[in-house]
Structure 1
Amino acid sequence: MPLPGQGRECARNAPIRGEAPVTNELSDLSRDLIAVRDHRDREAFGRLFDHFAPRLKAMMLRGGLTGGSAEDLVQDVMLSVWHKAAQFDPHRADAAGWIYGIARNRRIDLARRKPLSQPEEMPDMPSLEPDAGQVLALQQEAGHLAAALSRLAPEQADALRAAYFEDLPHSRISEMTGLPLGTIKSRIRLGLERLRHELRSIAP
């Protein structure tokens, strides 16, 4: 058992269960999510919460939710991250793509008028292993998102992938593409609007 204060270091360097050891190619966010998955590391979860909570709230506000509803949904999403961390596979998706996928799932549930679970106190017990139905549902949601992205203009899809899947700031995308910052922001805004339309047409 690691000594107090060593949890983060041990978690970051621990091998992924059943897979090759973690390498430096993983992002810090993915390493933190692996620490939550394998060690129930609360400090790592705190860093994930601090990073994603404001971004998820902004995304929900852009999607039409009010402040209170957006905050409740963000708490629900991050609680799901804690409970479902066992499902995270860094070889299939990075932390940002995986967490934004959960957020999209919750947003669809809300749109269908399903009641959101109330935020609850973080438990000390480990999360339950995912069942086949949960894994299939996540795969279907990922498929819907990929299909919706494929219908966007390539420049809009690329901008969304960079901003939300790779979690790059707009300024960094501008530097990488050589395009003005205003153009990048416009492509992301228009891409989000189009993506919402496409997801509504795809979702059953």
Structure 2
Amino acid sequence: MVAVARSQDHGAFAALFAHFAPKLKTYFRKFGMVDGEAEELAQETMILVWRKAPLFDPARSMASTWIYAIARNLRIDAFRRNGAHANEVSAAEPFQTQDDAPDAEMQLTTAAHQALLHKAMHLLPQEQAQVLQLCYFSDRSHSEVARDLGIPLGTVKGRLRLVMARLRRALEE
């Protein structure tokens, strides 16, 4: 990812594409998309990865996290284009097949991370927790949150940056 970001390395991108495109297609299919839709969104995700590669910062997140964030946003946009409301999009759970079922160790690790995250979220100042809740758990856009709370868009984004930094520090500790 770093080679793609720094020098638009075609070979590195081909390797990235070969690794992530099938995984992204599976990710989209878990949300009920048919093969054609899933493949199209996987390709659209990878196009955005190529275009936005200079924005990737390995100090802030892993490449997979960054790529799946792009994929998630595209999935939400696709649902909205098809007439779904925000609460339907956030309520949409992926279909889980027997092959995808997490093993016991993964479930314990996930539960431990969730407990740490839950604890860290309770330590946030109320205004930051509110913005986090609306943006990530109520699946509202930054503009919608700014309008609903009567605060500038930049304030919403600033609070989210502070939240993410605090949560990252709490989880790293």
TM-score of the superposed pair, with normalisation by structure 2? 0.50
Relative contact order: is structure 1 or structure 2 higher (C-alpha 8 Å, sep ≥ 6)? Answer: 2
Query: Which has the larger share of helix?
Result: 2
TM-score by length of 1: 0.43
